[in-house]
Amino acid sequence: MRQFCIRLLAQSSYQLVEVQASLEEALQADEMVICNALMPVMPVRACGDVSFSSATLYEYLAPLCERPN
């Protein structure tokens, strides 16, 4: 699913940049999503005391990841 999401984003207007980030750096993000084989793509609503309110990326990816191939 990760590679599928990467391909989708590469073909979109999103700018895809892969980085290795510390937890502190990741918590500065506007939005965070996770994906795996069981849950195609899910928004991260909060991590510890940090809440993520943006869902723009999730709303773009979710319908594309959930449709049958």
Predicted local distance difference test score (pLDDT) of residue 59:
94
Q: How many domains does the chain have?
A: 1
Residue 57: which domain range? 2-66
Predicted local distance difference test score (pLDDT) of residue 61:
93
| CATH (domain of 22) | 3.20.10.10
Using CB atoms within 10 A of its CB, is residue 42 exposed (0-12), middle (13-18) or buried (19+)?
Answer: middle
Predicted local distance difference test score (pLDDT) of residue 17:
85
Q: What is the pLDDT of residues 17-65, one digit of tens each?
A: 888 999 999 999 999 999 888 888 999 999 999 999 999 999 999 999 8
Secondary structure class of 3 (helix, strand, coil): helix
Interatomic CA distance for residues 19 and 22, integer angstroms:
10
Residue 5: enclosing H or E segment and its boundaries? Answer: helix 2-10
Q: How many CB atoms lie within 10 A of CB 15?
A: 7
